[in-house]
Amino acid sequence: MTDTLLIVEDDHTLRITLGEFLTRRGYSVELAENVATATALAAQQRYALILLDLHLPDGNGLELIGHLRQLDENCLVVIMTAFPEVRTAVAALKAGAYDYINKPFDLEDLLELIRRALETGSLRRELAWRRAQDRGCGLEGMVGNSLAFRQMLNIVQRIASAQRVPVLIHGESGTGKEHVARAIHCQSPRAAGPWIAVNCAALPEALLESEMFGHEKGAFTDAKQAKPGLLELADGGTLFLDEIGDLSLSLQPKLLRVLETQAFRRLGGSREIRVDVRFVAATHRDLRKMIGGGQFREDLYYRLNVGAIDVPPLRERREDILPLAQHFLQRMIPALGVPALRLAAEVVRLLDAYPWPGNIRELRNVMERAAILTPDGLISTTQLPREMLGNTCPDTGGQQETPLRLAEMEQAHIRRVLADCDGNKTRAAEVLGITRATLRNKLREHRITDGEGDEG
Ligand X SMILES: Nc1ncnc2c1ncn2[C@@H]1O[C@H](COP(=O)(O)OP(=O)(O)OP(=O)(O)O)[C@@H](O)[C@H]1O
CB 232 within 8 A of CB 265: no
Closest CB 137 distance from ligand X, rounded Å: 13
Closest distance between ligand X and the C-beta of residue 27, in Å? 32
Q: Does 144 interact with ligand X (rule: CB under 6 A)?
A: yes
Per DSSP, the residues of 53-69 read: ESEETTEEHHHHHHHHH
Interface segment toward ligand X; rule CB under 6 A; list 55-63, 154-162, 173-181, 289-297? 173-181
User: Does 360 participate in binding ligand X (rule CB under 6 A)?
Assistant: yes
Taking residues 230 to 269 in sequence order and writing x for each that binds ligand X by CB under 6 A, - otherwise, the string is ------------x---------------------------
Interaction of residue 370 with ligand X, rule CB under 6 A: no
Q: How far apart are CA 9 and CA 55, in angstroms?
A: 8
Q: Does 284 bind ligand X (CB under 6 A)?
A: yes
Stretch in the footprint of ligand X (CB under 6 A) among 36-44, 118-126, 138-146, 233-241:
138-146
**174 binds ligand X per the rule CB under 6 A:** yes
Pure H helices in 7-85: 12-24, 35-44, 61-71
Is residue 69 a contact point for ligand X (CB under 6 A)?
A: no
Stretch that binds ligand X, among 37-45, 51-59, 83-91, 175-183 (CB under 6 A): 175-183
Question: What is the dihedral sign for C-alpha 276, 282, 288, 294?
Answer: negative
Stretch touching ligand X by CB under 6 A, among 27-35, 174-182, 395-403, 404-412? 174-182
Residue 443, sorted as left (phi over 0), alpha (psi -120 to 50) or beta, turns out to be alpha
Instruction: Select 200 or 419, whichever has its Cβ closest to ligand X.
Output: 200
Instruction: Name the closest residue to ligand X (Cβ).
Output: 176
Please report whether residue 139 would count as binding ligand X according to CB under 6 A.
Answer: no
Looking at 113, 142, 184, 247, which residue binds ligand X (CB under 6 A)? 142
d(CA 454, CA 248): 53
- Interface region with ligand X, contact rule CB under 6 A, candidates 30-38, 140-148, 298-306, 345-353: 140-148
Task: Enumerate residues 381-400 that contact ligand X by CB under 6 A.
Answer: none
Measure the CA–CA gap between 62 and 77, rounded to whole angstroms: 11
Cβ distance to ligand X smaller for residue 174 or 229: 174
Distance CA 357, CA 94 (A): 13
Q: Measure the N-to-C terminal CA separation of the chain; round to a whole number of Å.
A: 45
> Alpha helix (H) ranges present in 188-247?
205-213, 230-233
Cα separation, 406 vs 395, in Å, equals 15
297 Cβ partners below 8 Å, 6+ apart?
249, 252, 253, 256, 291
Note the residues at the interface with ligand X (CB under 6 A).
Answer: 141-144, 171, 173-179, 242, 284, 324, 327, 360-361, 364
